[in-house]
Every structure is written in structure tokens, then in C-alpha cells.
Amino acid sequence: MVTQLILLALFMALSVNATESRIESMGKRDIFFRDDMSIFRNPAGIGVLGNFVTGSLGFVSDSKELVLNNPRLVTSVDTSISCSTTTGGIFHPSTSQLVFDTSYQVKTGTPTNQWFGVVYNYELNPNFALFGGAAFNREDDLLLFYNAQKNRRLYKTGTVFPDLKGKSDFILGAHFGKINAAAAYYHASQEAKYQGTNDSTFGPSISLNRFNGGTEIGLGSHSLEIFGGIGQIIYSNTGEGFESALDIKEKTDNSLYLGSRLFFQTKIGGGIVFVPAVNYAKKAVFDSSITIISGGIGGSYRLENGFFWCGMEWENYSAENDSADIKESGQGMHFNFGIEKSLIWKWLIVRVGGHRYFGTREIEVGNIKTEEWVQNSEDSGLSDDLLGFGIGLNYQNRLRFDITFNEATPYFNPFGKGLEGSSNGGHMLLRISSTFSL
């Protein structure tokens, strides 16, 4: 079985021990190449990646942090804007950003989203093995969507919609011949009780659960991944009293995730791996929901002491906020590339990558409609802007530190104000992640 796993990893031309920092600094997206973070999308990947401990010291920035792979954080290209309304009013296109951008509404001047985890494979015989893993304090994309919606509501944070605690991932799977299959569970919750008049208690109880499952099937020198999941956020009341300002409507929001990708090994150019992929996601939180359908193709190529990948992906999305009577929809293309290469010493890896999203967006607020061309920002200091830059420190292919740099670092002026004028303020390092192979 060990030989099969090694061959499967090699044909994909992938680099294991790949972290959030590697993704950010090498193209912003990881749908067209494999990395450690993909186990939270398809837990069956543990059967190929082996045993390791991983984690992150968090992300720090003077800008608002956002979820990776979120194209709706965009700026107007101002090439086509049309408004229509029965009242004759004018709707400003940036209004929609207050509703659907998956970002925190606070600056991350101190590190946020720090987490750690471990995965392990245990071979029982040459054709069968068990594997599992756990991670703690990681912020799942459904939780990030919850935080974004919570923070832009009119209520105070920590009252009606509190911060969720106990963020945990648990994964269990098995290897059968050429097939890896696994299931994963993510949980975060909070129960907040408040003392009211007449000794009554009241407050919200919120439980966020996500169940993922996936498989990876070896097809000769190729590999097929199929994965999916469901998410639930359950809202209920913890007390018998009722206070409209601090009570929450009892309901359950359901989310759905489906996806597949094929790693197709060729002999073109010495071994280019083509990766067609499709994904579907529908997330619902409170009275807001978003549906994203995407598909595209990418490729990767192993360089001497390096790695290169590129890809393009079409996307269509629709979102709405029922209580505010706001609807948003759009479609566009993602264009990405990333490259990493050892320079001078094999332990020093330099990375650079780019991500351009370009498309159209339509927003309806009541009777008012706005249409515009949009693109992701060029230098906002966010994880999903145009370019990324970073390094990796690799010790004996076992211990790796991946670092995302402020993109203004090459222009640092020690005799001036340093990096204070950049979008990330005075921070030279934005994220540090690490992996240790067991």
C-alpha cells in the first residue's frame, strides 16, 4: 500500500505540506492543485498526504480580513452601470458590499484565525489502512459566513448573535486498495443566558454543524475526487422569558456543498497534470443566502526544485437578503497562476502568484436595480487581492514554515515611514503557517 500511495502522490505533481500561506502567496486558490488544506473540503485526501501536524499563527492586517476564494469582494470597473427605479432615486453600487462580502467588519491588527491540527494513517495490511485527524480553532467557511452576517446586523455583537466557541474538526476514513474514503464533522456553538425582570432568563442558543464526506479513486495514473457536505445552523432560545431585543427566532438554516475534480496525468511537456473541476455551494445564515456554481480547468507542472500551476474557472452566483429586500447575482471568470522555486539553497523557497476575477454584477434593492462590471481589488491588503508573495523555509522536507509577505515589502524604505503607507500598514509579515511531517 505504501508504494501505491507514493506513486499516487507523485503522479499528481503536487507538493505536500502546503498551508494557507502557500495558497495566499501562490495564486490565492487551490482547486487545481492538492494541498493540506484540501482535506477540509475532501477528507479522503488524508489517505494520500500521510502523517503530519499543521497549523497557523493567524492572519494579521490593517485591512479587513476575508474568506479565501470569495470573488464578491470586488471593485467597480465603471465601464457599465445602469440604474432603474420607479421612484427616480439612485442606488449606489457599493451598498451591496454591506450585505454579501464575506469579511470581518473589524481590522485584524492582531493575529486572527489561529489554529492547529494533526492527521495520521495507520496501516493494518498492505491493502487496508485507517486514518483520521482533528483540528482545533479553525474557522470553517460557513462560520466565516456566519460571522460576516452577524457583524453587519444592527444588533451588538455578543448579544443576539454571539461569537461561537469550541471550533473543532474531526475526520475518520479508510484506504481500500485504490480507494480512499472519509467523513468529517465540524462544530462550533454558543449558549448565552441573560437575567431579565421577574427573575426570567432569556437568550440565544446557536449550534453550527457541518458534515463532509468524500472519496478519492485511483484510475491507473489518474485520480478522481468526489466530495460533498451539508451544514446546519440551529437557533433556539435558552430561557423561558421573552425580550424582543435579545431574543432570537427559532429556526434552522441548511447549507449544501458538492464538488468533483479529476487529476489527469499526461506525458505532455514532461508530465503536465490537467485538472478539470466543478463545484456547487449554497450557504444560508439568518435571512441571507448565497448560491455559487463554478467549473473550470487548470494544470500543474513540476519544475526542477519547483512547482508551477495555472487555471481558469467560470462562476455564477446569486445571493439575497429577505429582510432587507436585496438581491444580488453575477457571473465571471477567475484567472490564476502560481509558482514556487528553491533559490540558492534548497531550504529557501520563493513564491509568487496572481488572481484576477472579472465579471458582471446585478443588484436589486426594492425597485432599484444596478448593473456593473467588477473585478477583485489590486492592493487592498486582503487575502484575495490581485497578487501574492511569500517564502517557505524547508528543513529536510519534514519541517516547513510558510510565510505570506506584505506586497509592499520589496519597496520597503528603512529611512522613511517603512510600510506605514501600504494597505497593510506597518506589517511586513501577514501570515505564518507551519507543517511537520511525522
Of residues 161 and 122, more confidence is placed in 122
Percent of the chain clearing pLDDT 90 (strictly above): 43
pLDDT for the residue numbered 418: 58
What average pLDDT does range 64-81 have in this prediction? Answer: 36
Q: Which residue(s) pair with 64 in the sheet?
A: 107
Cβ contact 46:40 at 8 Å: no
pLDDT for the residue numbered 222: 93
Cβ contact 309:351 at 8 Å: no
Query: What are the tens digits of pLDDT across the range 260-316?
Result: 999 999 988 878 999 999 999 999 988 789 999 999 999 999 988 899 999 999 999
Q: Which residue(s) pair with 119 in the sheet?
A: 52, 133
Q: pLDDT band for position 410 (50/70/90)?
A: confident
What average pLDDT does range 76-90 have in this prediction? Answer: 31
Cβ contact 371:324 at 8 Å: no
Integer CA distances (angstroms), 248 to 154, 197, 206, 235, 322, in order: 14, 18, 10, 7, 16
Of residues 157 and 277, more confidence is placed in 277
d(CA 52, CA 135): 12
Alpha helices (runs of H) in 43-96, residue ranges in sequence order: 46-49
pLDDT for the residue numbered 201: 66
d(CA 331, CA 279): 14
Of residues 71 and 428, more confidence is placed in 428
Query: What are the tens digits of pLDDT across the range 219-234?
Result: 989 999 999 999 999 9
Alpha helices (runs of H) in 218-354, residue ranges in sequence order: none
pLDDT for the residue numbered 196: 64
Alpha helices (runs of H) in 58-186, residue ranges in sequence order: 97-100, 141-151
Q: pLDDT band for position 11 (50/70/90)?
A: very low
d(CA 313, CA 361): 17
SS3 370: strand
Q: pLDDT band for position 419 (50/70/90)?
A: low
Cβ contact 325:366 at 8 Å: yes
What average pLDDT does range 67-72 have in this prediction? Answer: 35
d(CA 12, CA 23): 17
Q: How many residues does the chain have?
A: 438
Residue 54 reports pLDDT greater than 80: yes
d(CA 153, CA 359): 28
Q: Which residues contact 149 (CB under 8 A, 6 or more apart)?
A: 285, 286, 288
Cβ contact 56:433 at 8 Å: yes
Residue 13 reports pLDDT greater than 60: no
H/E stretch holding 385 reads none
Domains of the chain (ranges; CATH) run 2-437 (2.40.160)
Give the residue carrying C-alpha cell 492538492: 34
pLDDT for the residue numbered 426: 66
pLDDT for the residue numbered 115: 94
Residue 377 reports pLDDT greater than 50: yes
Cell matching residue 111: 493575529
